[in-house]
Structure 1
Amino acid sequence: MTAKTRSHWKEYGTALCATLITATAGTCYGWPSPTLPYLKSSASSIPTTADEGSWIVSIMILCSALTPIPSAYFADRFGRKTALLLGAVPFIIGWVLVIVAKSVVVLCVARMFSGLGYGIVYTVAPMYTGEIATNEVRGALSTLITLMNKVGILAQYCIGPFVSMRTLAAINLILPISFVLSFIFLPESPYFYLKFERSERAETALRNLRSGDIRLELKNIEINVQEDMKNRGTWSDLLTEATNRKAMWISLGVFTIQQYCGSAAIVAYAEEIFKQAKGQLQPFQESIILGCVQVATCILSVILVDRVGRKPLLLLSALGVGLMNGTIGTYFFFLKSDESSVEHLHWIPITALLIYIVCYAIGLSTVPYVIIGEMFPTNVKLYASCVAHIYTGISMFAVQKLYQVVADAWGIYTAFWGFSAFSLMGLVFMLVVLPETKGKSFACIQAQLRRDVARDNASKLMTVEY
């Protein structure tokens, strides 16, 4: 085995351990799917209405928008590793509260704590994985964040229908505790150490992450960090610097497509959607199939993202989810208006949702986190990550909360048609403005953005003169 291969295995091992916390986030994300049907049933020990159920689902994501800014400051001052360890604490509190809950209010408080942890994890984890990786595998390591999240969701689909709500919470509690016990021994990001001129610690961290000679890479990292830190980054730099402004616009656009294609609603309400579709399988069985396909496709995305590229995967993903959302919406429309007309087409919802999951997982589910980790220089990366994840949290809350409102008021088909429209508009957006970053160093990506900004300015000037 060559030194380069050994280094890659070390990177994968470190990233896998680090992203165990995102598997914890996935358990929180997928938990409502098997739990809501029980809570809203007559057998529930905590009677829950449909509106209360939608709050239990969505309050977690709303609260995730509260922690990106504090966690960014914490990560910038005390390190990415320390911030990720801190992020495990709210998850532990949240699952303990679910275990002891006797009312909807306590469940909502538990979900609020989980949301706080969710915001910390998705602010800091992309940065940590992006900074410990070499250019060759950076995209693949970054997609592990989403892969582990999907593993956590799948665990809920597979375990949830067969155990009680409290037992499921106790099982989920194992993950954040395991993360703390393993991640505490892993190295900090060398980029973070070099920001504070701790060269010896940066060298030690990099040696723990690589095999072979690290001197050239350490020097390159030091040069990049020094270049980025000549002017200390501030929040205003996201708006005043043209390249940062363009990167922010592109990143927020990609995250908009990721959320408004309906993924958050489909994951949280999977069993209820399958129940309304009236397929031949049990809803929990269809959910398990959905989760398995989701995980398998995320693994495929990890393999493809550094081979095919970011942009092709995102374009294919947006096209696929747009078409499948339209198909599902049309099926539910005819199911509502004339059930007999689609009686022989009961296979369409599960098939369309499986294709949806495949298309979503290979691009929109994973690549946006790669984009946010690559598009910004070190001195403003945390700030950009904060803005993106606050925006994402609010968007996910809107999707999860309004899905139930729209479905109740205008039919489930209206919600899916709306998701389809957003997906196809997003396809056009990414086709026009998204650059390819595959295999490029952070310095090359910044240079490309500067060229794009210069070209845009020249085009505007020519338009005005004309």
Structure 2
Amino acid sequence: MKTTVVDKKNVEDLQNDGQIWPQVLAIVVVCFVPFTCGLLFSWSSPFLLKITNDKNTYDISEEEGSYFTVIPPISMILASIFCSNLNDKIGRKPTILLISVPHVIAWILTATATNVWMFYASRFFAGIADGLMFASVPMYIGEISTPKVRGVWGNALTFAIYLGQFIITVTGSYCDVKRTSYICICFPLIHFILFYFMPESPYFYIMKGRFQEARETLTRLRKKHDVEEDFLLLKADVQRQMSESGTWKDLFTIDSNRKALFAGIFLRASQQLGGISTFAVYTQYIFEKSGGNLDPQVSSMIFVGATCLLNLVGAYTLDLFGRRLSYIVSLVSCGVVLLIESIYFYIDQFETQIDIKFLNWIPITGMMAFVLFFSIGLGIVPTLMLGELFSASIKAKGLSVLIVVFGIFVSTITKLFHLLTTNFGLFSPFLLFSINCFLSTILAIYLIPETKGKTLEQIQQSLKGSKKTNEKIRVETNPNP
């Protein structure tokens, strides 16, 4: 039995000897899932007003339609609870392939809906797909990619969601409910066909003791003839993580797990309390209520399109400045913009003696500024770090908890937006979101770990407060483990 010494400082050098395009290809293909989730998530933005105004076809009230945004996060929570162990039982790849089923059902129900209950059923299946997606896709991307690839392409998931939101906003502005549904049903089918040929996560194979398959997967992903050192390093990391106890109790009692959990909960809570989910599903509603020179449909397309494009820019600034600093700057900037928006809407609604028609450019300009600052931190970091924070032994349970938290905040905030706007005015939710951003800035300093440029094992060691991340480790090189 031979023993090899690997210096963790040179881990990325080992991983970068090959080519990165197979990893990028796998990430692009898997992102058909969040793309479809983005389509369904923002579906209510272009169609809520169309459906509630079409009394001949649907006869659905605005109050009934407001639940279109509430049902998906609720079913997402249920899916995360009942399907939390799928990734570890059947694998990351089969779980991701399975997501096509609720996606197809959701689009079929939407296309054939004639009453509010069919729409509710469609939104329920959309939420199930969201739960499965957030439990598996971030995990898959984090496990198949090297730190260098993950630093840039790890943001592809978030970009795909925003791209889906943009496409549904544009398509929904020109097509009716049925035609849009028949167009969009193609995407989960394309995903299933393409992703069938993508590799499984090498982490999963090592967890199951299928070492030869792990080597073959690494060979495909790294495009290297000799992946033995990569395999041995990964095997040592995964086996060390799997040697740790991974019960529900350990998620809360082990210090490193608890730090990861608190960081994840904070990231999800502060992101959603920043208002992005509300803006995504009520985009046209906000611009219609706020007035302005532009048509609400055009304004919403500009808003969502800018969100999508600026997200690409954010991916590079994130890898340049790090996760924590980018998030803090994003929080402060978004807080200022949201406060200005809130003041404008308050004066417009309650101080009518003040003529602010010359300022009617503020709603769309403010939302564009919000998108810019949101894209450099708030829009990227929470989703990217889903696949980074947890040890392999506890990852499925940790992600399950974060999905539940995410679902609770999305459903609560979107419904709260409707209640606040109806009872107090459009300024009130913007004021709430602004206050959250300022308070979250302080908490971010203490709760967010820096994961830039680190392997998943190095992140675990930093959460433990260990100095081992730069020490040499010994791994056995038995050719037939």
Same fold, TM-score > 0.5, yes or no = yes
Aligned partners of 2:18 and 2:303: how far apart in 1? Answer: 34
Q: TM-score, normalised by structure 1?
A: 0.94
Tell me what 2:300 maps to: 287
Deviations 1:393-438 (A, max 9, x none): 1110001111101110111111110011111111111023322110
Matched with 2:97 is: 85
Report the AA paired with residue 270 of structure 2: I
CA distance in 2, matches of 1:148, 1:6: 26
Matched ranges for 1:27-426 at <5 A: 27-42=39-54, 45-212=57-224, 213-339=226-352, 340-426=354-440
Point out the more displaced range, 24-33 or 307-316: 307-316
Structure 1 segments (4+ residues) deviating >3 Å: 3-6
Report the Cα offset of residue 205 of structure 1. 1.1
Under a length normalisation based on structure 2, what TM-score does the superposition of the two structures give? 0.91
CA distance 1:191–1:111, shift in 2 (3 Å): same
Give the structure 1 partner of residue 448 of structure 2: 434
Letter in 1 for 2:275: G
Deviation digits for residues 134-193 of structure 1 (CA, Å, limit 9, x no counterpart): 011213232111100001000011111101111111111111111101001100000000
Q: Is the 8 A contact 1:69 1:383 kept in 2?
A: no
Aligned residues of 1:377 and 1:446 also touching (Cα < 8 A): yes
Does structure 2 retain, via aligned residues, the 8 Å contact 1:298–1:362?
A: yes
C-alpha distance in 2, partners of 1:89/1:359? 36
Distance (Å, rounded) in 1 between the aligned partners of 2:17 and 2:178: 43
Distance in 1, Cα, partners of 2:27 & 2:315:
12
Structure 1 residues 217 and 318: alpha-carbon distance in aligned structure 2, compared to 1, 3 A threshold: same
The two structures, once aligned, show a CA RMSD in angstroms of 1.7
Q: Does the C-alpha gap of structure 1 residues 8 and 176 become closer, same or farther in structure 2, counting only changes over 3 Å?
A: same
Q: Is 1:61–1:393's contact at 8 Å kept on the other side of the alignment?
A: yes
User: Deviations along 1:76-123, whole A, 9 cap, x unmatched?
Assistant: 111011111111211110110011100011101110011011110011
Which letter does structure 2 place at the counterpart of 1:387? V
**AA in 2 matched with 1:343:** K
Q: Distance in 2 between matches of 1:120 and 1:218?
A: 28
User: Using the alignment, how far apart are the partners of 1:59 and 1:278 within structure 2?
Assistant: 29
Alpha-carbon deviations, 1:366-414, whole Å to 9, x = none?
A: 2112222212111111111110011101110001111101110111111
Cα gap change, 1:74 to 1:161, in 2 (>3 Å): same
Structure 1 residue aligned with 2:472? none
Task: Give the number of the structure whose residues are more often helix, by fraction.
Answer: 1
Deviation at 1:44, TM superposition (A): 5.6
Distance (Å, rounded) in 1 between the aligned partners of 2:442 and 2:34: 30
Check the 8 A contact 1:136/1:306 in 2, yes or no: no
Point out which structure has higher relative CO (alpha carbons under 8 A, 6+ apart): 2
How far apart, in 2, do the equivalents of 1:370 and 1:45 lie?
41
Do the aligned residues in 2 keep the contact of 1:4 with 1:211 (CA within 8 Å)? no
Gaps of 5+ in 2: 1-14, 468-481
* Per-residue deviation, residues 1-35 of structure 1 (Å, max 9, x unmatched): xx948622221111010111000000011111110
> In the TM superposition, what whole-angstrom CA distance separates every residue of 1:267-289 from its partner, at most 9, and x where no partner exists?
10000100111111100101111
In structure 1, the gaps of 5 or more residues are 454-466
Shift in alpha-carbon separation, 1:413–1:44, aligned structure 2, 3 A: farther
Task: Report how many residues are paired.
Answer: 452
Range with bigger deviation, 396-405 or 441-450: 441-450
Q: What corresponds to 1:13 in structure 2?
A: 25
Q: Give the letter aligned to residue 420 of structure 1.
A: S
Q: 1: CA distance between counterparts of 2:215 and 2:83?
A: 25
Instruction: Tell me, yes or no, if the aligned pair for 1:131 and 1:190 is still in contact at 8 Å.
Output: yes
| Cα offset, 1:55, TM superposition | 0.3
Distance 1:87 1:42 in 2: 32
DSSP-derived class of the 1:140 partner? helix
In structure 1, what residue type is equivalent to 2:202? P
Q: Is contact 2:322-2:450 (8 Å) kept? A: yes
**Relative to 1, partners in 2 of residues 1:61 and 1:123: Cα closer, same or farther, differing over 3 Å?**
same
Letter in 1 for 2:364: I
**Could you list the per-position Cα deviations for residues 30-77 of structure 1 after superposition, in whole angstroms to 9, with x for gaps in the alignment?**
111110110121466212222111101221122111111333211111
SS in 1 for 2:395: helix
Residues 311, 434 of structure 1: 8 Å contact kept: yes
Q: Deviations over 1:196-251 (max 9, x none)?
A: 11011111111111122322111111000110111341221101211111111111
